[in-house]
Amino acid sequence: MSSSKEIGVGASLDWLKWGLVAIIVALAVYANWYYQEQSLFLRVLGLLIAGAAAFLIAVKTEKGNAAWNLIKEARSEIRRVVWPTNNETTQTTLVYLIPVLNLKTMMKELSLETHQPPLSSLQKMMLL
């Protein structure tokens, strides 16, 4: 078990780690712009390496570690979800699609009975 003094020292260095992450990201963006004439593959590779380094440093902070644990827990929750089958998805889609199409047809018929085309948004703005 670590003492509260050790935790305080680690937490006090978090600002330094976040500063290093910010510097790495800023340098990566600048280098990507500066070397824009170079191969896209090399620039993307450099950005991936810089991003990985920034990520590894960020995860070593208190908040970064908490965020990483949250991501791992969310991933395990997603694995426990019972996803609908293809048949269930098709049936549910039809249950919603049929009334929407019926409503669309009824509104189109009502619009045709008035013998006036519906107003465009520009015409509506001009009437205001």
| Three-state DSSP state, 84 | coil
Give the pLDDT score at 107: 82
Q: Are residues 49 and 92 in the same domain?
A: no
Give the pLDDT score at 126: 64
Q: Are residues 18 and 64 in the same domain?
A: yes
Distance between first and last Cα of the chain: 71
Number of domains into which the chain is organized = 2
**Domain that residue 9 falls in:** 4-80
Q: Are residues 25 and 68 in the same domain?
A: yes
Q: Are residues 57 and 100 in the same domain?
A: no
pLDDT averaged over consecutive 10-residue blocks of the chain (128 residues)? 52 88 96 94 96 95 94 93 93 94 84 65 66
Residues 79 and 26: their CA atoms lie apart, in Å, by 36
